[in-house]
Amino acid sequence: MYSMDSMEEKELLQNITQQEYKEGFVTDVEQVYIPKGLNEDIIRMISSLKEEPEWLLEFRLDAFRKWQAMEQPRWGHLDLPEIDYQDIIYYAAPKKDSERPKEIDPALAETFEKLGIPLHEREALAGVVAVDAVFDSVSVKTTFRKALSEKGIIFCSFSEAVREHPDLVRKHLATVVPAGDNYFAALNSAVFSDGSFCYIPKGVKCPMELSSYFRINAAGTGQFERTLIVADEGSQLSYMEGCTAPMRDENQLHAAVVEIIVEKDADVKYSTVQNWYPGDAQGRGGILNLVTKRGLCRGTGSHLSWTQVETGSAITWKYPSTILMGDYSSSEFYSVALTNNRQQADTGTKMVHIGRGTRSRIVSKGISAGRSQNSYRGLVRFNPGAVGARNYSQCDSLLIGSECGAHTFPVIQSRCPSAVVEHEATTSKISEDQLFYCTQRGIPPEDAVGLIVGGYAREVLARLPMEFAMEAGKLLQVSLEGSIG
Amino acid sequence: MKEKIIDKGHYVDVPVPEGAVVVPAGSRLAVCYTLAGRHAFVLEAGASLDLCLLAFPGECDGLELSVDLVGEGAEASLSGICVCSEGEFPLKVTVRHRVGGCVSTQLFNGIVAGSARTGFDGRIVVAPDAQKTKAFQTNHNLLLGDAARAETRPQLEIYADDVECSHGATIGRLDESAQFYMQSRGIPEKEAKVLQMISFLSPVLEHVPEDRREEIAARIEQTVRSL
C-alpha cells in the first residue's frame, strides 16, 4: 500500500498551508469613522448618520438593552477569544465626494473589480447578476435596480429600503430573528449598519441572480450587516452572498443577521461562499464570523434552500435555519465547511417542523486539515402538529492530518408519532486506496487530495449557481493546498 | 438548574471515573442486566466487554454509562433495549477511546409509547493519537402515541485522523407497508404491530448471552403486548 514517508508528508503540508489569501489587500480610501465603543449615544449616532426614523432608533435601543442583559454564549465547540465590545468601531464608511455625490469612488470600484465583483451593469460571461456591494458599514452600489424595478422587484441597500419602503421593512423586520433571539443577533439589532433588502412581488420570477457582496476594509471595525428577503406568494428567487476582508493581525468581528420570509408556494435559494480572512498559519488574526441566519417558510408549499461553502474566518459560528410553518413546506441545507491551520468552525443547521407534511434534508460535509477544529451542530425538531413530516440528515467529516479534529453534535427531537427522521454521520480520513490509485497514475499527491476533496464536496457544490460553483471549487483547492498529511 | 456548559473547543483529558469496573488485560466480561444509576467500565489492553442493557416499563428511570478504552486492542460492544410507556428515561452513554487500535460498537433500540419521554445522549470521544480507532453507534427509536416524546443526541468528538467512526439515529413509526402486508394476509392489526415491534428490537437480542436469550425474548413479547 502506498504511504508517504514523514519528510515528504511534512513538505507537502508546508506547501499547502503557505497558500496566500489573495483577497487580503487593503483599499486606501478616505473613511468616516465614529468613535470606538458601544453605548446608547453611539447607537443614536449611527441612527442619525443613517437618517433613520424614530421607530427604528427605538428598535435599536430596545435591542441594546436586551443585549446588555445577555451573556455571550459559550456552548460552541470553540476557543473563542475574549471580545472587548468597547474596543470596536461600529460604523465606518468611505467618504463621499461632495462634488460628485452620485458617483462611486474609483478606488472602491477598483476594489470590487479586483475582487471580481462587477459594479458595471454589463453582462458577465456566465449570466447576469445584480449586486449589492457593501463596503464596511455602507452599501456603495446596487446594480440593475431599474431593470428589476420594472418587474416590481425591490433590491436595494437596507438603509434605502428604510427610507423608501418603510412599511415593508417595518412589517417584516425581526419577525424571523427577534431582537433578543441570541447574544449576537441582539448586538446586530442594536448596531446594524447596512445590508441588502429584497422584495419579490406575487408571482414574479426574478429574472437574474441577486447577490450581496460584503467587504471589510477599515481596521479596528466590525461589520454588522442585516439582510431581509421577502418572497411573496408564488415568487422565485436565487440569492448569493460573498465576502472577503484584508489580512490583519487582529481579530475582526462580523455579526450579521439574515432573515428570509417565504410565502405560499414561493421558492428561495440562498447560497453563500464565505471567504473571510482566516488568520495566518499561527492563528493570528482573522474574522470572527458570528452570524444568525434564519428563514421562515410561512406559506403552504413554500420552499427554502440553503447552500453554503465555508472556507474562511478564524472562527465560524453559524447555523442557517428554517422554520417550516406552512403545511407541506420544505427546506434543504447543503454545506461544505473547510478548516485549515488553526481555524475553528461550529456550524450546522436547525430544521423546525411545525406544519403538516413538511420535509427537510440536510447534507453537511466537513473537511478539517492542519490544526483546525470543525464541528457540525444541528437540530431537527418535530412539533406535535407536524403530521407526516420527514427529515433526512447526513453529516460526513473528512480528516486530513493527525492534529485536527472533526466533531458532530446533532440533536433530534420528535413529539409527533407520524414523523420520521433519519440521521447518519461518518468520519474518516482520505482513503489510502484512492490516494494510491491517483498517484499510481502519475497524479501528484497534492492534486490527488484536491481531486478527492472535490469529489467529496461535489454533492454540495453542484447545488450552487454556476458562477459561484466555479469560484467555490477553486477556493477549496486553494484553502487545502499544503494540508495533505 | 442545568450545569453551565463551557466548551473550549479542544480535547480535554478527563480523568478515568473513580470506582469503575476494570476489565483486566486480555479478559472478557459479558453482562446482561437491568441497570440504573451510574456505571463505569475501564477496558485494559486486549480486554473485551459485552454489555447488554434492558429497560422495561417501570423498571428503571435513567442510566449513565461510561466506558473507557485505555489499552490497545480493547473491544467494547454495548447494546440495549428500552421500552417505556410513562415517565422519563434518560440514557447517557460515553465511550472514550484513549488509545489507538480499539473497537467500540453501540446499538440501542427504544420504543417510546404512552406519555413516556426518552433521551439518548451518546458520545464517542477519540483522543488525539488514538489512531486506527473504530467506533460505531446506532440508536433507533419507535415513537408510538401522541403524548410520547423522543430525543436523541448522537455525538462524535474526534481528534485523530486515521479512524473509522459513524453514528446513525432514527425516530419513526411502524412501517405502514409492512403493516398492510401482514394485515392483507389475515394477521390482525394488533398482532401485526406486536410482530413488527419484536422485529424492531430483535437485533439487540443477538447481543444477549445465549443462555438467557429465550427468557428475555419472552419478556420482550410480554412487554410489547401490554403496550
pLDDT above 80 (res B64): yes
pLDDT in the model for residue A4: 45
Q: Which residues from chain B sit within 8 angstroms of residue A76, using beta carbons?
A: 7, 9
What's the whole-model pTM score? 0.89
Strand partners, A382: A353, A414
Q: Which residues from chain A sit within 8 angstroms of residue B168, using beta carbons?
A: 422-425
Flag if B163 and A399 touch (Cβ within 8 Å). Answer: yes
Alpha-carbon distance of A68 to A53, in angstroms, equals 23
Residue A24 exposed, middle or buried by CB count within 10 Å (0-12, 13-18, 19+): middle
Strand partners, A121: none
pLDDT above 80 (res B3): no
SS3 content of chain B, % helix, strand, coil (to 5): 20, 45, 35
Q: How far apart are the first and last CA of chain A?
A: 16
Task: State the average pLDDT for chain B.
Answer: 90
Tell me what the mean pLDDT of segment B28-45 comes to.
86
Q: Does A412 touch chain B (CB under 8 A)?
A: yes
Q: Amino acid identity of A359?
A: R
> How many CB contacts within 8 angstroms connect chain A with chain B?
135
CB of A221 within 8 A of CB of A94? Answer: no
Give the distance from residue B66's alpha carbon to the nearest chain A alpha carbon, in angstroms. Answer: 18
3-state secondary structure of A103: coil
Strand partners, B122: B93, B154
Q: What count of Cα atoms within 13 Å lies in the side-chain half-sphere of residue A283?
A: 13
Quick one: which of B149, B64, B146, B77 has its CA closest to B110? B149
Tell me what the mean pLDDT of segment B100-125 comes to.
94
Q: Does B158 touch chain A (CB under 8 A)?
A: yes
Q: Does A77 touch chain B (CB under 8 A)?
A: yes
Alpha-carbon distance of A11 to A13, in angstroms, equals 5
Flag if A421 and B171 touch (Cβ within 8 Å). Answer: yes
Give the distance from residue A413's alpha carbon to the nearest chain B alpha carbon, in angstroms. Answer: 4
Q: Amino acid identity of B194?
A: V
pLDDT above 90 (res B70): yes
Strand partners, B134: B103, B164
Q: What is the CA radius of gyration of chain B?
A: 19
pLDDT in the model for residue A12: 47
Q: Which residues from chain A sit within 8 angstroms of residue B165, using beta carbons?
A: 426-428
Tell me what the mean pLDDT of segment B26-47 comes to.
87
Flag if A407 and B154 touch (Cβ within 8 Å). Answer: no
Question: Mutate which of B8, B84, B156, B173 to test chain A, going by most A C-beta atoms within 10 A?
Answer: B156
Alpha-carbon distance of A342 to A481, in angstroms, equals 15
Tens digits of pLDDT across chain A (485 residues)? 344 444 554 554 444 444 567 788 888 877 888 888 999 999 999 999 888 999 999 999 999 999 999 999 888 899 888 889 999 999 888 876 665 556 677 777 777 777 777 776 655 544 567 888 888 877 877 888 888 889 999 999 999 999 999 999 999 999 999 999 999 999 999 999 888 999 999 999 998 888 888 888 888 888 899 999 999 999 999 998 888 888 888 889 999 999 999 999 999 999 998 888 888 888 888 899 999 999 999 999 999 999 999 988 899 999 999 999 999 999 999 999 999 888 999 999 999 999 999 999 999 999 998 889 999 999 999 999 999 999 999 999 999 888 899 999 999 999 999 999 999 999 888 888 888 999 999 998 888 888 888 888 888 888 887 767 777 777 777 777 665 54
Question: Mutate which of A383, A392, A412, A426 to test chain B, going by most B C-beta atoms within 10 A?
Answer: A412
Question: Mutate which of A351, A368, A408 to test chain B, going by most B C-beta atoms within 10 A?
Answer: A408
pLDDT in the model for residue A431: 81
Q: Which residues from chain A sit within 8 angstroms of residue B145, using beta carbons?
A: 417
With cell 428570509, the residue in question is A260
pLDDT in the model for residue A120: 67
In this predicted model, what pLDDT tens digit does every residue of B128-186 receive, in sequence order? 989 999 999 999 999 998 899 999 999 999 999 889 999 999 999 999 999 999 999 99
Alpha-carbon distance of B18 to B196, in angstroms, equals 41
Alpha-carbon distance of A249 to A18, in angstroms, equals 16
Phi, psi (5° rounding) for residue A11?
-60, -45
Flag if A401 and B165 touch (Cβ within 8 Å). Answer: no
CB atoms within 10 A of CB B176: 9
Contacts with B, A 346-385, CB within 8 Å:
346, 373, 382, 384
pLDDT in the model for residue A136: 82
Quick one: which of B112, B111, B63 has its CA closest to B91? B63
pLDDT in the model for residue A312: 84
Give the distance from residue A375's alpha carbon to the nearest chain B alpha carbon, in angstroms. Answer: 9
Q: Which residues from chain A sit within 8 angstroms of residue B158, using beta carbons?
A: 397, 399, 405-407, 427
Of B4, B7, B159, the CB nearest to A405: B159
pLDDT in the model for residue A128: 65
Alpha-carbon distance of A412 to A435, in angstroms, equals 35
Collect all residues with Cβ–Cβ distance below 8 Å to A155 and sequence separation of at least 6.
A130, A132, A142, A144, A145, A148, A196, A197, A198, A199, A210
CB atoms within 10 A of CB A300: 17
Q: Does A344 touch chain B (CB under 8 A)?
A: yes
- The ipTM of this complex is 0.89
What is each CA distance from A308 to A134, A185, A239, A347, A459, in whole angstroms?
A: 19, 20, 12, 10, 12
pLDDT in the model for residue A285: 87
CB of A188 within 8 A of CB of A292? Answer: yes
And the C-alpha cell for A220?
A: 479596528
Flag if A425 and B5 touch (Cβ within 8 Å). Answer: no
Q: Does B26 touch chain A (CB under 8 A)?
A: no
